[in-house]
Structure 1
Amino acid sequence: MSSSAYDLISIDLVLPGMGGLDVLVRIRKLDPDIPVVMVSGHGTTEMAVVAFENRATKYVVKSLESFKSLPYVFENLIQEARFKSNERAMRSQIERSERIHRSIVENALAGIYILQDGAFRLVNPKLGEIFGTSAESLLGLPFWQMIKPDDMACVSRLESDPLSDIPVYESKVQRKDGTSRWIEFRTVAIEYEGKRAILGNVLDITARKDKEIDMMNESRELSALEGLTEICLSGMDLDGRLGGVLCQMVSGTSGAEAGGIFLREEEGLELRALHGSVEELIRFIGGVETVRLLSQP
Structure 2
Amino acid sequence: MKLKFYLTILFGAIFLNSYSQNTQAKKIDSLLIEFQKKSFYGSINPAKEELEKYQQTIIPELIKLLKDTSFVKLTDTADLIYPGTTVFYGHGYFIPYDLDWISVRSGWLLEEVTFQDFGYKNSEINDETLLKLMKGNYNEYIQKGNYEVDWKEKTSDQKKIEYRKILSNNAEKWWKENHKKWNRISAIKEALKSNNENRLSKVFQYLRFGESKCANMTKELYSTEIKPIIVDLEKTNQYPEIQEQIKLLLNESVSLKILDIK
TM-score in terms of structure 1 length: 0.21
Larger strand share, 1 or 2: 1
Greater relative CO, 1 or 2 (CA 8 Å, sep 6+): 2
TM-score in terms of structure 2 length: 0.24
Larger helix share, 1 or 2: 2
